[in-house]
Amino acid sequence: MSFFDTTPAGTILNRFSRDVFIIDEILPRVFTGFLRTAAGTISIFAVVSWAVPPFLLVCVPLLFVYKSVQSYYLATSREIKRIDAITKSPIFAMFGETLAGVATIRAFAEQGRFVAENETKVDRNLEACFASISANRWLAVRLESIGHVMILTVASLVVTNLAASKPLDSGMVGVLMSYALSITQSLGWLVRVATDVETNIVSCERVIEYTKLKSEGPWETVEHHRPSSNWPEKGEIVYEGVECRYRDGLDLVLKGVDFKVQAQEKIGICGRTGAGKSTITLSLFRLIEKSAGRILIDGVDISQIGLNDLRSKISIIPQDSQCFEGSVRVNLDPEGSKTDEELWRVLEQSKLKGHIQSLEGGLDAKIEEGGNNLSNGQRQLLCLARVMLQKSSKILVMDEATSSVDPETDLLIQTVIRTEFKSFTILVIAHRLNTILDCDKILVINKGKVAEFDSPANLMKNKDSEFCKMCQEAGLID
């Protein structure tokens, strides 16, 4: 997942649109043209050399000149092509981001700034385009000059041949001059096509680079490591000396984290910004792999099982719940394996039944892309209902799930969690400390390490505890 965090969407789109198009459409056509032009050029040289053998004495040195000009041009052209591809990616990225946030841009009257930024990015790309055109003109002048030397050579040899004892007949002279005139075009086109092949190979390099990216762990579990069908039965979570970093070469984010969560406990996780709270969630889902230590769920090391087996048994309610374009039914049960009675039951438990019944179509009511026709709170409640359908799950992670909803909806979500998720082990990543005061224990993370792990009451009694100081800063206690 770190790849998507560090790679702009425009860069990915450029690889899978422009680069793939070049490989599928342009490169085969250019390569075919190269073979056809090469065959024609060789035939012309063969005919002229057969009729006027001295032509080879001049031709061979000129071919080396052609090659040196092509090599000089190719080194520049290839890099210009690469720069063109690199500078085009930010244009794709900005277009997508601007389209997604156009309402916000207009609300803050920032159209002028975004137009100026877009023009800057387009100008930077056009610089590469103009450089490519200039390089092409540079090549054309030199190829035509060398071609004219060849024409002059053939004409001189033909005139010299007229004084020989067996001069060429007029028909052969006409053929040779006709071929000589086409040499310039053929050689120039051959060099251009050969250069196009090599510059377009850059697209192959860029796509091949993606095929060599480091992938996630195995999706399915190796059979002899597969946990039992009812795993996790309890929901116990153990971290033993866990260390994590987002990418190779970066500093550790989690540094020797040790804690144990008993089955059906509700744990609040808090800490300063950048302390490593959300990294615990990422490591539990193996969105980032640990560098050291072990993570156990009901005694099973999660690094030994497939990602599908792991992630299908853990539920999460993120800060921005995802809704898909489609019906309420599809959003609750994408696989279509649940009955209407089960869907209405979880909607009632999540306090959404009344709202869904008021929509035209009920369970078949349309949900817009991103849930734009639902409020933040309703999207979170819909996500809660989706979690309730997953009967195999025993662990629920709430990553600042109520940070973007109003207090009334926050209270409603907390009520649903207390009543409907009693048998779950719950990890709550806290943004507002008042949402975790009813947890069984509080895990305080400070600079990637476990600073405190105790009940809220015990931590708040200790005036020197990190949690107590954070509560004082939030105005929860005096």
Strand bridging mode 441-446 / 449-454 = antiparallel
Indicate the residue type of 103: A
Q: Are 244 and 297 in contact (CB under 8 A)?
A: no
In the chain the domains, ranked by start, together with CATH numbers, are: 2-211 (1.20.1560.10), 237-323+374-474 (3.40.50.300)
Please list the residues that pair with 239 across neighbouring strands: 259, 295
Query: How many whole angstroms from its chain centre is CA 3?
Result: 6
Measure the CA–CA gap between 214 and 206, rounded to whole angstroms.
15
Gap between the Cα atoms of 78 and 60, Å rounded: 27
* Nearest C-alpha neighbor of 378 from the set 353, 342, 344, 343: 353
d(CA 137, CA 124): 21
The CA distance from 411 to 432, in Å, is 12
Q: How far apart are CA 298 and CA 291, in angstroms?
A: 21
More confident residue, 391 or 148: 148
Q: CB within 8 A of 71, min separation 6: which ones?
A: none
Q: Which of the pair, 1 or 340, is modelled with greater confidence?
A: 340
Query: Tell me, what's the pLDDT at 121?
Result: 93
Q: What average pLDDT does this structure show over 167-194? A: 76
pLDDT at 168 over 80: no
| Out of 27-41, 152-166, 344-358, least confident range | 152-166
Strand ranges (E), 391-471? 395-399, 425-429, 441-446, 449-454
User: In the predicted model, what is the mean pLDDT of the chain?
Assistant: 84
Task: Write the pLDDT tens digit of every residue in 439-465.
Answer: 999 999 998 999 999 999 899 888 888
Handedness of CA 355, 357, 358, 362 (dihedral sign): positive
pLDDT score of 391: 67
Among 391, 390, 412, smallest CA distance to 401 is for: 412
pLDDT band for position 403 (cuts 50, 70, 90): low
Residue 404 has pLDDT above 70, yes or no: no
Task: Indicate the pLDDT class of residue 331, thresholds 50, 70 and 90.
Answer: confident
pLDDT beyond 90 at 392: no
* Alpha carbons 3 and 468: distance in angstroms, whole number: 38
Question: pLDDT tens-digit profile of 206-255?
Answer: 889 888 888 777 777 766 677 787 888 888 999 999 999 888 888 899 99
pLDDT at 222 (0 to 100)? 66
Residue percentage of the chain with pLDDT more than 90: 16
Q: Considering Cα of 323, then 324, then 326, then 331, what sign does the dihedral take?
A: negative
- pLDDT band (50, 70, 90) for residue 338: confident
Amino acid at 169: D
Give the pLDDT of residue 236: 93
Least confident of 51-65, 72-86, 286-300: 51-65
Token pair in block for residue 360: 């035209």
Residue 179, pLDDT above cutoff 70: yes
pLDDT band per the 50, 70, 90 thresholds, residue 142? confident
Report the DSSP pairing between strands 237-244 and 290-297. Answer: antiparallel
Q: Whole-angstrom Cα distance, residue 187 to residue 142? A: 12
pTM: 0.68
Cα distance between the two ends of the chain: 42
What average pLDDT does range 184-195 have in this prediction? 79
Q: Average of pLDDT values for 141-158?
A: 81
